[in-house]
């Protein structure tokens, strides 16, 4: 697929894109509370979004519900109260594709009305009404695989074949979306690193990432600062940059098109260097 239609904007997939993470939650494992709620928080979020765009991000992914392991579900209204003021300000002030990290149909619809172009759903539009909201919009959707729910997903996850089961789930969700009227030009996929998977599951999934290709749909990869990096390196969240960047190099070489990260500037450099090597020609 050559492009992803994101509302009024088009994402050119001839190059790899970096998606900057903007959490507006009080409890994100990485930056919880920094851009949360208040008027000052909204302004801080706008500044951070502008900073990430200046560093080379193409998309800003705004999330109002923490999906870290053990995270509790928040109400749809609370999530909307956190996210929509930030969406509105960024849509007014910045030139970017706005992605909404949510599973809530009400937030999807409201954010789309404010200018969001992509729904990044860790539950792959499983909540009632979610598929219909995206189908009736012009937004794209990223369908992610998750075994279980955030509150319990890391309690002894098991697979017969993690690659086959991830692909089977995503294929089922893609077919359902197509039947609902969402064209393939508005769908991307995320294998869900860290979502109901052990370290071994994550490493094998990354190793065989080029086999997680369905309907020629683009892959979005999110490994930034995650436990799979900590599990290999034995380092805390704030010391996982180098390990995260190693996964970015590998993912780009395996065909990933969107890289979701906290550390935008460093990731943009790594993506550019990796693509330059991959695209080198005989002289």
Parallel, antiparallel, or unpaired for β 9-12 and 3-6?
antiparallel
Report how far residue 98's alpha carbon sits from residue 130's, in angstroms, rounded to the nearest whole number.
Answer: 18
Six-digit token string for 62: 């705004």
Residues in a beta bridge with 101: 63, 120
Does the annotation mark 260 as catalytic? yes
Q: Determine which one of 9, 109, 257, 260 is catalytic.
A: 260
Active-site residue identified among 82, 123, 225, 226? 226
Q: What residues contact residue 212 under an 8 Å CB cut-off, 6+ apart? A: 163, 166, 167, 170, 189, 191, 205, 219
Strand pairing class (118-121; 140-144)? parallel
Going by C-alpha positions, the residue among 150, 148, 126 that lies closest to residue 63 is 150
Rounded to whole angstroms, the Cα distance separating 281 from 279 reads: 6
Residues assigned a catalytic role: 226, 260
């Amino acid at each position: 697929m050559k492009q992803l239609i994101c509302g009024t904007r088009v994402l050119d997939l001839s190059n790899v894109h970096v998606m900057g993470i903007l959490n507006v939650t009080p409890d994100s494992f990485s930056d919880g509370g920094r851009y949360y709620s208040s008027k000052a928080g909204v302004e801080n979020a706008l500044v951070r979004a502008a900073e990430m765009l200046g560093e080379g991000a193409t998309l800003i992914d705004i999330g109002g519900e923490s999906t870290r392991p053990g995270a509790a579900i928040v109400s749809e209204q609370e999530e909307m109260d956190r996210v929509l003021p930030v969406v509105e300000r960024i849509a007014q002030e910045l030139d970017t594709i706005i992605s909404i990290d949510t599973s809530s149909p009400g937030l999807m619809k409201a954010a789309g009305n404010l200018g969001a172009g992509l729904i990044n759903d860790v539950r792959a539009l499983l909540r009632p009404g979610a598929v219909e909201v995206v189908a009736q919009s012009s937004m794209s959707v990223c369908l992610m695989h998750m075994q279980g729910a955030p509150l319990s997903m890391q309690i002894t996850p098991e697979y017969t074949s993690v690659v086959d089961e991830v692909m089977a789930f995503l294929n089922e969700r893609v077919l359902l979306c197509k039947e609902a009227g969402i064209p393939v030009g508005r769908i991307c996929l995320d294998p869900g690193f860290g979502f109901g998977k052990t370290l071994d599951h994550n490493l094998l999934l990354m190793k065989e990432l080029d086999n997680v290709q369905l309907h020629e749909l683009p892959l979005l990869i999110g490994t930034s600062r995650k436990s799979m990096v900590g599990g290999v390196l034995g380092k805390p969240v704030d010391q996982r940059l180098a390990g995260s960047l190693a996964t970015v190099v590998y993912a780009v070489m395996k065909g990933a098109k969107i890289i979701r990260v906290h550390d935008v500037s460093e990731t943009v450099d790594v993506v550019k260097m990796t693509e330059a090597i991959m695209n080198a020609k005989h002289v």
